[in-house]
Amino acid sequence: MDTPIISIKGLRKVYHNHIAVNHLDLDIHKGEIFGLLGPNGAGKSTTILMILGLTEPASGSVLVDGINPQTHPVDVKKLVGYLPDNIGFYEQRTGLDNLVLVAELNGYSYNEALGKAKDLITTVGLKEVGNKKVSTYSRGMKQRLGLADTLIKNPKIIILDEPTLGLDPTGVKEFLALIQKLSKKENLTVLLSSHHLHQVQEVCNRVGIFVKGNLIAHGKVQDLAHQLFRNNGVTTLLDTGLNDTDEINAIKSRLLNIDGIEHTDMNGKQIAIHHSFSSNTPLIKALSDQEVPIRQILQKGYDLDDIYSYYFEENRL
């Protein structure tokens, strides 16, 4: 694979004895949409600020297209469009005016800035409302304007912190579709953070899951469940063929006497067996040694919903 456009090694950030980001190693490649995912407080925004050179790491390094944001923050800013999670606009000015202003601040003449602003307002689907005051915009429209704002300097990379926060489900879908389209068209690298795995999974080529400052897994969404749960033992569903709940319950309790079976639960008429056997074969042998009736046995796969409920439910962490 070619050289990563963002390369992070051993990155660490500590706030008053609290480790916000812990030895992060991560490479992001040109043209990919990478999702930085994790519950609130996981360290996503802190990581983004270090990539941008806006906060100093305790240790470790970041290179953005070969440039160190600590020593050359201005050069990095030229390459990267950043949409913070709390972007503010001049509410009493129009969307178009806001973009013209940013373009002028980036060194364009008024006429160039106006041309640029008009192009971008069309790109993000706000052409109809470009001449309306931002104060009349919905949250979704403001996020689109924010996206246009990040694109003004023709960046190679855009970093969007919680861009889907506060959008309704349709708004989320449309916004993510727009990002995907732009990324493809311009070969733009996109790093976005979110605490909604479900919302962003479809558009991200790869994601990294952060929990309490640690990147606990990263890769393609479909490979994550395997990475995350491979050390957690296995759950196998056993259909005893019995119908009587008392009989099934008696077997369920009896299973706990078998070495390697850690926990059992009812799953309708099936018994969910949580165990540490390497596969179903030795489990089946142990069950038949104990004369447990087996009609059908099925190893349960973990999916995104398992990841979600395990790592992302707000009340869990």
Please report, as ranges, the residues that interact with ligand ADP according to CB under 6 A: 15, 18, 20, 38, 40-46
Rounded Cα distance, 194 and 34, in Å? 11
CB of 53 to Mg ion, least distance (A): 17
- Do residues 33 and 203 touch, judged by C-beta distance below 8 A? yes
CB of 42 to Mg ion, least distance (A): 8
Which residue lies nearer to ligand ADP by CB, 13 or 153?
A: 13
Which residue lies nearer to ligand ADP by CB, 44 or 142?
A: 44
Which residue lies nearer to ligand ADP by CB, 118 or 212?
A: 212
CB of 161 to ligand ADP, least distance (A): 7
| Neighbouring residues of 167: CB distance < 8 A, sequence distance ≥ 6 | 139, 140, 143, 175
CB of 149 to ligand ADP, least distance (A): 20
In the list Mg ion, ligand ADP, none, the entry touching 185 (Cβ below 5 to 8 angstroms by class) is none
| Neighbouring residues of 152: CB distance < 8 A, sequence distance ≥ 6 | 81, 99, 102, 103, 106, 116, 117, 120
Q: Contact positions toward Mg ion, by CB under 5 A?
A: 44-45
CB of 238 to Mg ion, least distance (A): 43
Residue type, 85: D
Range list of H helices, the chain: 44-51, 73-79, 95-105, 110-123, 139-151, 169-186, 197-200, 221-229, 245-255, 280-289, 304-307
What token pair was written down for 301?
């796969």
In the list ligand ADP, Mg ion, none, the entry touching 20 (Cβ below 5 to 8 angstroms by class) is ligand ADP
In the list Mg ion, ligand ADP, none, the entry touching 81 (Cβ below 5 to 8 angstroms by class) is none
- Residue with smallest beta-carbon separation from Mg ion: 45
What token pair was written down for 75?
């050069």
Which residue lies nearer to Mg ion by CB, 86 or 257?
A: 86
Which residue lies nearer to ligand ADP by CB, 43 or 140?
A: 43
